Chains A and B, each alone.
Chain A
Amino acid sequence: DVKVTQSSRYLVKRTGEKVFLECVQDMDHENMFWYRQDPGLGLRLIYFSYDVKMKEKGDIPEGYSVSREKKERFSLILESASTNQTSMYLCASSSPVLADYEQYFGPGTRLTVT
């Protein structure tokens, strides 16, 4: 079974802090994604990566950056956390060799910025 893990389930940070969210997948997937999920807005794509050191902006990249130094690990960075970044963050992975790019999700990190 594909396993996607995220470094924290719950995280509380202060405004202005630098925040790192880590995601690791164990199925050698090429693609990795970071979403945020907010009530009434669904899942919105922040960044995604097709390969190591490759990244592309999603729909809402402002205030975020990412890093993918190894194939299995995709990090989301909040350079200076703000209260409007309080949200549930979901990581996912997929592979183009799998039929139709089904995405597998991690358990999520609920981030609160105070």
Chain B
Amino acid sequence: EDKVVQSPLSLVVHEGDTVTLNCSYEVTNFRSLLWYKQEKKAPTFLFMLTSSGIEKKSGRLSSILDKKELFSILNITATQTGDSAIYLCAVGGKGNEKLTFGTGTRLTIIP
């Protein structure tokens, strides 16, 4: 059974701080790991990491995948109040359209 564990469950930081969110996983025949951001609505896609793309960056957000140690991190630098959200990590296996999600990390940015 595939499994995703995210840590911490919640995090409160001040605006301008840098945060690191963690995601460890167990999956049969790893295909991809995805990060989503969820505010008070639908989760929105951030990054997808695969065997051929283990590092992604977009503005202040970046993510890396360690396939050997089976984890990923999501970094957010110079945090802003708009970064407050639940961050979800999900993994998928080859030949399987399903994704397995972690419980999410609730990030709160204090002005």
Against B, the Cβ 8 Å flags (1 = close, 0 = not) of A26-61 are 000001010100001111110010100000001000
Given A42-B102, A42-B103, CB of A102 within 8 Å of CB of B45:
yes
A63 at interface, CB cutoff 8 A: no
- Nearest-CB distance from B84 to chain A (Å)? 16
Across the interface, do A100 and B43 meet the contact criterion of CB distance under 8 Å?
no
CA distance A60 to B71 in the complex (A): 26
CB of B32 within 8 Å of the partner chain: yes
Query: With A43-B88, A108-B42 given, is the CB distance from A102 to B48 under 8 Å?
Result: yes
- In the complex where A43-B88, A108-B41 touch, is A103 in contact with B99 (Cβ < 8 A)? yes
Q: How far is the CB of A48 from chain B (nearest CB, A)?
A: 6
Q: How far is the CB of A30 from chain B (nearest CB, A)?
A: 8
What is the CB-to-nearest-CB distance from B6 to chain A, in angstroms, rounded to a whole number? 8
Chain A residues within 8 Å of B88, by CB: 42-43
Q: Taking the complex as formed, is A81 at the interface, i.e. its CB lies under 8 A from any CB of chain B?
A: no
The residue from A31, A43, A96, A102 contacting B101, defined by CB atoms under 8 A apart: A43
Task: Compute how far the CA of A74 lies from the CA of B34 in the bound complex, rounded to whole angstroms.
Answer: 23
B43 touches A105 (CB 8 A): yes
Chain A's closest residue to B92 (CB) is: A101
| CB-based contact B32/A100 at 8 Å | yes
| Cα distance A101–B103 in the bound complex, in angstroms | 20
Closest residue on chain A to residue B48 by CB atoms: A100
Which residues of chain A are within 8 angstroms of B102 by Cβ–Cβ distance?
42
Contact for B97 among A4, A43, A96, A99, CB less than 8 A: A96
Interface 1/0 per residue, B20-45 and A, CB below 8 Å = 00000000000110101000011111
Q: Does B62 contact A (CB under 8 A)?
A: no
A6 nearest CB neighbor, chain B only: B42
| Interface residue A75 (Cβ < 8 Å from any Cβ of B) | no
> Which residues of B sit under 8 angstroms from A43, Cβ to Cβ?
88, 90, 101
